[in-house]
Structure 1
Amino acid sequence: MLIAVLRSRKRPAGCLLALSAVAVLAAGGCSVANTTASESASPDTLRIVLPQEPPTLEPCDASLTATGVVVRSNITEPLIERNPSSGALEPSLATEWTQVQPDVWRLTTATGIRFSNGQPFDAEDAAFSIRRTFNGAIGCDVNGYVFDDSTREVTVVDPNTIEVRTETPDPILPLRLSFIEIVPRTTVDDDKVRVPIGTGPYMVDFWDSGQRVALTANPNYHGDAPEFTRAVYQWRSEGSVRAAMVTNDEADVATSLGPEDGAGDLGIAYTNNETTALRMQATDAPLNDYRVREAIDLSVNRDGIVDALFQGLGIPAAQLVGKGIVGYNDRLTPTPYDLDRARELVDEARADGVPVDRTIRLIGRTGQFPKINETIENLQFTLSKIGLDVKIEMMDTSGQMQYQTRPFVPGSGPVLLMIMHGNQAGDTQFTLDQYMLSDGYQSTYGTPAYDEQIRSAEALTGAARQNALAAVLAAEPREIRQYAYIAHMQAVLAKASRVAYQPNSATGDEMRLAEMTHAPAQND
């Protein structure tokens, strides 16, 4: 199969519609200088406020939401990009890709491109970046997030061609490669970097830890120069504070808002690709008993959470992927809210000697989504009603990630972990490999039979693949029940009237600054 597309780097400005409050409710190096307040408020500077500080700017960790929203397609670029609206794969630093053998893909790299430090980009850099991603000494998040443990051999054929050979045929390898951000071959290959160098429209100016990250336009950028030449990121954990910074002209864009945060006419509601769920650590008692996990699932009041806490910005979920993802099962319905049946199951487990009185840790991440604290408290309350002892622990990103990804914290005891998963790639395989396989990067439990069902479905293509993946999702609550799915989320972004930008399903993970332009002047 040959995929060849004309290269175009111009970003569409788009037309931005601001919703009313009613609608919302329904580098070459690192500078040591700090920007002044007047510079931050200049017409050519974007002021962005995030819910949390990026834990790292390392490109191979860009699959982390808090990192990717700054790094992906701003500082660095991939070989291949996925269009968040159509799902189509589009060229970035690769102009075409061909499956020349069942287990070999050949990619042609673009010419005339330089990194922000002036170093030319070619196939050697592409091969280096792929190999670096698989370097276990670094522990790249994207490696566990997108790839399995099988080996891949990367060969430079000539200065503009690489080949990637896989152990077994991989029909979606180009989709996987779209998650690898390209860095120069001079990048340290056995440790993570603080200030990344890339080919994107921006480069790092400075990172004032705990305060701000500033980007400036990359003078060596190969595409159209972005309209805004600087971007300054700050972070505030409270959504109402982030919204107020936009309404008070202290920021231009605020992300991850709730409908009650006060963005008013500057708020834009949009569908993202995130699904919230409670992951049950099924290896430790009492969570290793299926009845207890089913009881926890039955105790989640999805309709109440969506209506009262999310104010309608969400849909109760029955699976970990949303509409538009290959494998999405439109026949599944959310688990009903049934505290009486949940109590019965807990009592049955207790009668059989399951230690249901053991304290269960309920871990949430501060700022993970609007009303996260209230959602966690609601879950604790309903779980207490069915006879379980649950203790809330709220953590920052770095702390919570120790429980979300392998290697997990040893001896952590029974844990209920709030997760939020966004399948940007558009295929359920990325969800299954991460969250459902027995040894998945973000999975704590599985069975050999369910693993085999997953692998068999992932080997298929076309309609057969869709049907098999949908069947796998339908089987999870029946055979495994590692998750209590909560909601497919919608998001609110606040945007100053001087900025034109239309958020899309990928905005929460990859907010492309080059797509932000100066809004046309309004006529009185």
Structure 2
Amino acid sequence: MNFRKTLAAALVTSAMASMGVASAQTIRIGNQGDALSMDPHSLNESLQLSVTNNVYEPLVARDRNLNLVPGLATSWRQTSPSVWRFELRKGVKFHDGAPFTADDVLFTFARASGEGSDMKSYTNDVKEVRKINDFTVDIETKGPFPILPDVLSLLFIMNKKWSEDNQAQRPVDRRKGIENAASFRANGTGPFRLRERQPNVKTSFVRNGSYWGKIEGNVVNVEYTPIGNDATRVAALLSGQVDVIEPVPLQDVARINASGKSKVMQGPELRTIFLGMDQKRDELLYSNIKGKNPFKDKRVRQAFYQAIDINGIQRTVMRGASKPTALMVGPGINGFDASMNNRLPYDPDGAKKLLADAGYPNGFEVAMNCPNDRYVNDGGICQAVAANLARIGVKINLQAETKGTYFPKILRRDTSFYMLGWTPGTYDSHNALNALMRCVDDKGSGQFNLGAYCNPKLDELTVKIQSETDKAKRDAMIKEAFQLHTDDIGHLPLHQQALAWGVANNVELVQLADNFMPFRFMSVKAGK
């Protein structure tokens, strides 16, 4: 007997029985990339967190409007400026039947803040997590931290015993290529269970028939398939081989809408796409300049900024589906200030002069790392940037690759010039300041500041911002911090991209501005 097939059949039967339906509803999703692991602490990347968010849950969750709602904690309150008490939900079971308790919360925080974790920027300001009883924990922060519940909404709880039994006490370390059982198996409390994992081929999920909460949709099975080729992904949707695709190639939006079988759901996304530069090493790893680092010179960073024709990229590469930005956060993020969102002018001649003033009148050569299957038209954007920089004498050796190899490389900081996209998981500017712009330490500050930009004054402001409760004062400090970063040209912000999902006409789902795709909101309409 094939135990896996028997178990899967039992899970489907249980789910169908709990729904009271005669046949299992299935949704087939085609995405341009795959989640790199089922480990919820191994990669702080939206696609991976979107997938694992269906299997695992945080203490504090978000609803279909991105508002905070109770998750594995039923309530939370501050008992002092630096201590939060969380009352945990009783009667919740992990997918293997084990009960959820405070021990799992303590284990998760230790795991997420430990070696190999990519979620340290969510725990770096936590001083201690204490068990009060089986269903109450206190979380003490290093200072007042009023947005702690927002921060915890992407920290997914794992089962302590399962992790220990499966030698998965530490996260899968994407930087070192180290795998463990949590990469291929999962044991969460969420509305869907992992049924089968075939990396880069297909991952299957089944509705959790014993889920503690309400599942609004009627879907029982979800088949998630990576389809990297744009034309193949669109063809799969139009032929009915898949029901949902993400993203829709911008050139195919009209064709899908005219098909009569599917439609394109479009909307603003909270993600900002930007470029980063190694500003720490005394000599760049991948450049023809020896003995020094051009990116340490603000004039060089400014030359790169003003050489990029962002309006041309918006027009030709993004087909209008982007909003150029001067900031590292966009509209919809708390602290965004439209009055600051003014880019330096596109000025190739001025950029050439800046390079010459910095001692590079003939430009120089540098490698640029870029994914080609993560963001909307990411490869095309990097090609356009390379062409723009060639006009000022900078030769870009473009290295575009699948995100499966791209992210481990840049997360090791094995890069001189790179692309990254960022959606603040807290929907607050502090998240971007803490993760992207703060000076790097070994506790999680600046964990995704991969070029090691550093301004101690910005660090001081970031610490004050996280504890300030007066909104006006807090907004003023955020503005000051962003102005410091802008003046330093710490990164090269490009744009906010737009969401574009292709959806069959018989499918209903919720499109969230953080680009998460919750299975619990999906339904297949009858009679279609």
Q: Does 1:347 align with 2:356?
A: yes
Choose the corresponding residue for 2:394, options 367, 384, 388. Answer: 388
Which aligned runs of 4 or more in structure 1 are off by greater than 6 angstroms? 32-35
CA distance in 2, matches of 1:469, 1:521: 52
- Would you say the 8 A contact 1:362–1:392 is kept in 2? yes
Equivalent in the alignment of 1:304: 312
1:468–1:135 Cα change, 3 Å: same
Choose the corresponding residue for 1:206, options 191, 196, 205. Answer: 196
Where in structure 2 are the equivalents of 1:60-99 lying within 5 Å?
Answer: 60-61=41-42, 63-72=44-53, 74-83=54-63, 85=65, 88-99=67-78
Deviation at 1:261, TM superposition (A): 3.0
Cα deviation code 1:198-221 (max 9, x no counterpart):
111111111123311011112321
CA distance in 2, matches of 1:388, 1:254: 37
Deviation at 1:142, TM superposition (A): 1.6
Q: Does 1:416 align with 2:417?
A: yes
State the secondary structure of the residue aligned to 2:99.
coil
1:69–1:105 Cα change, 3 Å: same
Equivalent in the alignment of 2:123: 147
Cα deviation code 1:258-311 (max 9, x no counterpart):
321355212111111111111122234211111110000001111111122111
- Would you say the 8 A contact 1:329–1:474 is kept in 2? no
Deviation at 1:338, TM superposition (A): 0.8
- Would you say the 8 A contact 1:44–1:229 is kept in 2? yes
CA distance in 2, matches of 1:239, 1:183: 35
State the secondary structure of the residue aligned to 1:183.
coil
CA distance in 2, matches of 1:287, 1:84: 42
Equivalent in the alignment of 2:175: none
TM-score by length of 2: 0.84
CA distance in 1, matches of 2:64, 2:26: 26
CA distance in 2, matches of 1:182, 1:455: 26
CA distance in 1, matches of 2:524, 2:200: 29
State the secondary structure of the residue aligned to 1:261.
helix
Equivalent in the alignment of 2:230: 239
Q: Does 1:229 align with 2:220?
A: yes
Deviation at 1:83, TM superposition (A): 4.2
Q: Aligned partner of 1:205: which letter?
A: R
- Would you say the 8 A contact 1:127–1:156 is kept in 2? yes
Equivalent in the alignment of 2:436: 435
Q: Aligned partner of 1:470: which letter?
A: K
State the secondary structure of the residue aligned to 2:485.
helix
1:383–1:242 Cα change, 3 Å: same
Where in structure 2 are the equivalents of 1:326-405 lying within 5 Å?
Answer: 326-332=334-340, 333-350=342-359, 357-405=363-411
Gaps spanning 5+ residues in structure 2: where? Answer: 10-22, 173-181, 258-262, 285-292, 441-445
CA distance in 2, matches of 1:369, 1:224: 32
Equivalent in the alignment of 2:207: 217
Cα deviation code 1:368-420 (max 9, x no counterpart):
22322221111111101111121100122243223443x423xx5xx221111
- Would you say the 8 A contact 2:32–2:230 is kept in 1? yes
Where in structure 2 are the equivalents of 1:82-161 lying within 5 Å?
Answer: 82-83=62-63, 85=65, 88-136=67-115, 139-144=116-121, 146-148=122-124, 150=125, 152-161=127-136
Q: Aligned partner of 1:450: which letter?
A: L
1:191–1:289 Cα change, 3 Å: closer
Q: Aligned partner of 1:254: which letter?
A: I
CA distance in 1, matches of 2:426, 2:106: 21
Q: CA RMSD in A?
A: 2.2
Identity score, percent: 22
CA distance in 2, matches of 1:381, 1:31: 52
Where in structure 2 are the equivalents of 1:273-284 lying within 5 Å?
Answer: 273-283=270-280, 284=284
CA distance in 1, matches of 2:378, 2:299: 26
CA distance in 1, matches of 2:338, 2:433: 17
Equivalent in the alignment of 2:455: 447
Deviation at 1:78, TM superposition (A): 0.7
Gaps spanning 5+ residues in structure 1: where? Answer: 1-28, 36-41
Cα deviation code 1:302-346 (max 9, x no counterpart):
111112211111111110111121221211212221111001111
Equivalent in the alignment of 2:264: 267
Aligned length: 471
Deviation at 1:152, TM superposition (A): 2.4
Cα deviation code 1:71-116 (max 9, x no counterpart):
11x111111013463x532111111001101121100011121111
TM-score by length of 1: 0.85
Deviation at 1:459, TM superposition (A): 3.2
- Would you say the 8 A contact 1:458–1:469 is kept in 2? no
CA distance in 1, matches of 2:147, 2:310: 34
Deviation at 1:521, TM superposition (A): 4.3
CA distance in 2, matches of 1:250, 1:328: 41
Deviation at 1:176, TM superposition (A): 1.7
CA distance in 1, matches of 2:249, 2:274: 18
CA distance in 2, matches of 1:442, 1:100: 32
State the secondary structure of the residue aligned to 2:247.
strand
CA distance in 1, matches of 2:382, 2:84: 45
CA distance in 2, matches of 1:452, 1:34: 52
Where in structure 2 are the equivalents of 1:34-53 lying within 5 Å?
Answer: 44-53=25-34
Q: Aligned partner of 2:256: which letter?
A: G
